[in-house]
Structure 1
Amino acid sequence: MKRILGIDCSPKVEKVVSGLFGGNDDVQYEQFHDGIALNGYQMIILEMGRNQEHVVQQICKLRYACNFQNIPIILINARKKDIPSQPYIIAGATEVLSLSDPLPACRHIMNGYLIPGREPLEEEFEYLDPFIKNTCHILQTMASIHVEFKKVYFSNTIRIFGDVSGIMGLSGNAEGTLVVTFYWDLAKSIVAKMMGMEEGEIDAELIHDGVSEIINMISGSTKKEFVGTPYHFEISLPSVVVGPGHQIGYLQNTSVAVLIFQVGTQSFALHVCIKPKTTLS
């Protein structure tokens, strides 16, 4: 049984949602509040209010509370007026549905998002483990912080939720992309520790440079471990993207492993998309 959380849902929307899931799932309802806990839920349903800016802020806070977990956020428009979905998708909504849409189509879409992602294959950890180990080691060494690896899931989307991402292109025996993504507050804290400065002294330029250096060090240290294997890659110059809901280009027909790490109560993600040109023997 899936656990679904409905937020700020009117009786009208609650009735429709109950009909969509037919009592086969555990649907709970509560009002939106700061600090809302989303762990254990497989889907979030939020009814759209009339104030776009307020709804966008709600979605941003909900996406932050997901801690980079792949929890779909479904925004329900209960009004007949057609509403542009782009601002809400950029903020972090997975889908924007309307009660005027055909209910069978809505049911199909929502049930599709409840299909669990596949677990990593044992052989996939042959290339994921070095990234996990080196990410923890680099931040422990450079910033004196304890980093704990929490989980991994696979994604086929190019959307990244976070405020700032360091990107490294991979080429050579293996090709792909490596991306580390932080929310702003954690990025500022880590960069301050790396540079031996107070957080108040860290500006956007220093965060940009610090995140660039983090992805460069993770890539460089992991590259050494793949020498002599089909996963050995060369690295390019890192780049940095800033802004919520940004998109990263990946190789076609190649899954993206999203590794979630925790620092205290905050999380960040490492996106690993790598494809060897030859297979492991």
Structure 2
Amino acid sequence: MGAFGVALSEVLAAWKYFLLDNLQLSHNDIPLPQNYDLIRKRKSLEKLDPLPVCPATPSNKAGICSPKIQRVVRRVFCSYLGLLVKSKNDMALAFTLDNPNRSLGHIAFTDLRHATCNSTSSLFLTVTSFVRAIQLGGKGYAPPESHPLRKHVKALSEFLNFIDQCQVLGETSNPREAGFKLVSSIRASLVKGCSNGDPVYLAAEDTGKSLKESIGQKRETVKVLMTLFDEEALAPPCRNKAELLPEDQAVLNGSSGACLLTLYKSPEAPTGSSPKPLRNRVLSQQEHIKSKRPLT
């Protein structure tokens, strides 16, 4: 189309060679790509050029937060708002369930998936029906002790109570005021326990301010939220495709965390075996291919 100065085949060849090089595997008969030394040099420079980070001291509040933290915090804000607009948004629930930390990580999410497997409900509706049954059902209607969510009652109740509070704030008669209150409530939840110089605190302050400015320019709350969601959908998720698998929980909670795809994997029973390292798997595949080649 005239927009690129190099053929796609050359890019793919360079990438394949680079991957084998990094895994310290044999290049077989793959010729050295043109300008390969420049490619390696560029990749080395990218590794030495980390993203800027927030200052660690409260005295320097004007510092610029890491773009990754900014993206994660904004995503959580918009996910809370999105969950209020559409409760069937499972992706929004995944981003908000354990942000801030409620001890609802991978194990809790897997249990939630198990509890949802046998119904047509969304993840959020599964949480709602379970917590309401505990709160209002009494002994005769409460879920049995064997229910997979039983061990997460307290944390799930905290999550649902916060969503209930947000829904009440969203019903404020003045749409602009409702939007301001929602953003302030989400911000307060995310920064609870953080110091003024904490990266998450700074990112939440900046995000809350920008969202309120957007809300102030609109008269109807629904239009405000839809505009925010459109902006979120159009914004590039990250500068590097490898960051599409971020450990968002670790960014916000300082815990071990789990990437979103790990949370969304099928909740199957563990087999007890772990996958072999990538290098070993590639070597095994290469040996398999060699063994099938006809003898000359």
Classify the TM-score, shorter chain: under 0.3
Q: 1 or 2, which has the higher helix percentage?
A: 2
Q: 1 or 2, which has the higher strand percentage?
A: 1
Q: TM-score, normalised by structure 1?
A: 0.25
- Higher RCO (C-alpha under 8 Å, 6+ residues apart): 2
| Greater Rg over alpha carbons, structure | 2
